[in-house]
Amino acid sequence: MQCRDAIYIGGSWRRPAGRSRLAVTNPATDEKFAEVPCGTAEDVACAVDAARAASDKWRAVPVAERIAALTRIKAGIMARADEIATTISAEMGAPIGFSRAAQVGLALRDLAATIDAASALEDERVGSSLVSREPIGVVAAITPWNFPLHQLIAKIAPALAAGCAVIVKPSELTPLSAFALAEIVDAADLPAGVFNLVPGAAETGAALAGHPGIDMVSFTGSTRAGRAIAGLAARGLKKVALELGGKSANIVLDDADFATAIPAAVAQCVVNSGQVCAALSRLLVPTERVREVEALAVAAAEQWTLGDPAEPATRLGPLASRAQQARVQTYIDMAAKEGARILTGGSAQPEAMPIGAYVAPTVLGSVHNAMKVGREEVFGPVLSIMSYDGEDDAVTKANDSDYGLSGGVWSSEPRRALALSRRLRTGHVVVNGAMLDVEAPFGGVKMSGYGRECGRYGIEEFVSLKSISGIRVAELVE
């Protein structure tokens, strides 16, 4: 049993104000294996005071020194990469191979892209004015459990690069990776108060979002929670960046290589047990090829075998919690009642994994947008196959969604793929299975939120533009 007794505020570990604790449970075994403090409104207030005291000092630090600090943090993560990957696997069930390559690997890529982009934070001349990019101030970073380290770094790194002080509230399901990051930041010799960690549940996040000393809230999570965060922040007219849910469509055009595209499309839906906000969970295929696609999808899904996340050979682990498992099971049962065909998988506890929050990779046929499983985010390894008749119909069905986070297009003709990508109302499109580009902007439209992460676009979220106009002002800056 791992027991954490302190939280990180003002450059030191200190006892929390309250006595409440958060239990951390391994979703593969149902065993509680750690406890951490649950931060209170009083702890939040202390963290805000520390961050505000540090904010003016940190914003005055040259960009080169901020980059050096991020480089030290990156080195610290690399030195503890295997330990952190193992922790994340235990916290939320990601297979250890995926945890090393993606859970930790993606965070390191985020840092590298932010470090490369940070040097572009320069003043510029516009007309007769000088336009400067100044840090927005104290940032509350509220992060989810599906990619705990990546989501922390995607907010912390650009905020620190921009010159902001940050207060982190990780998911109550996955706080241990955040504690590891706090230890790494502590060793990186940042000024006291620039980075603060206050773990907790929804009440802690609400206290952060509503605190008058917070200048910006960056939140990743469900659309429901995002609305609540935005409402609290709006009372103080704080800037808010929201990366929320998705129900993304993956369009396979008739000229695609189906033998390659369909197995890859299954992977784009079920990887990380489908717990990916940008998961391409709606597979749109030509009507005349539906049966062929169904057979290919079933064969591919059945290759995603379930197993112990600690075993290197495991492809899929459990969902992050029993509550998430129950949610996904409910959606599968609901889909069947609405007329969808369960082609493989299903809602039952898999026979091979009688213990743990497991759901078998599930492929649904005969799904349409009027069904709940066709419109609402399942956040599990559930692929819905839909048919279309012509490109216009494909675009109409893809865009018929409350969400707009991601999308996919498969075609053997690049110009055709690009033309179709431009018609999708979404913040991100993946063509022919391309990997996430951490230098390009990532974020959504519609109910998927607003704001962008990654590279220089991520840094821009944490700056405020100031124009200084006057006689020959621009000429004074070389």
CA angle 11–13–19, rounded 5-degree value: 135
Helical ranges in 302-355 per DSSP H: 322-337
Q: Which residues contact 348 (CB under 8 A, 6 or more apart)?
A: none
Cβ atoms of 132 and 123 closer than 8 Å: yes
Total count of residues recorded for the chain: 478
Q: Which residues contact 176 (CB under 8 A, 6 or more apart)?
A: 2, 4, 24, 34, 36, 87, 90, 91
Is 338 exposed, middle or buried (CB count within 10 Å of its CB: 0-12, 13-18, 19+)?
middle
Positive/negative CA dihedral, 452, 458, 462, 464: negative
Single-letter code of the amino acid located at 106: L
Where are any strands of DSSP class E within 103-214? 124-126, 129-135, 138-142, 165-169, 195-197
Positive/negative CA dihedral, 136, 142, 145, 148: positive
Alpha-carbon distance of 257 to 320, in angstroms, equals 34
Alpha-carbon distance of 237 to 206, in angstroms, equals 15
The phi, psi pair for 217, rounded to 5°, reads -120, 125
Which residue in 46, 91, 164, 243 is the catalytic one? 243
Cβ atoms of 408 and 432 closer than 8 Å: no
Q: Which helix (H) or strand (E) holds 396?
A: helix 391-399
CB-side exposure of 253: number of CA atoms within 13 Å? 21
- 136: tokens are 């927005």
Q: Which helix (H) or strand (E) holds 92?
A: helix 81-92
Nearest to 332 by CA among 271, 379, 277: 379
Which residue in 38, 164, 269, 277 is the catalytic one? 277
Specify whether 243 is catalytic: yes
Alpha-carbon distance of 177 to 86, in angstroms, equals 10
- 80: tokens are 């503890």
- 128: tokens are 């007769």
Alpha-carbon distance of 405 to 245, in angstroms, equals 7
Q: Which helix (H) or strand (E) holds 156?
A: helix 148-162
Rounded to the nearest angstrom, the gap between the alpha carbon of residue 389 and the centroid of all alpha carbons in its chain is 33
Specify whether 277 is catalytic: yes
Q: Which residues are the active-site residues?
A: 243, 277
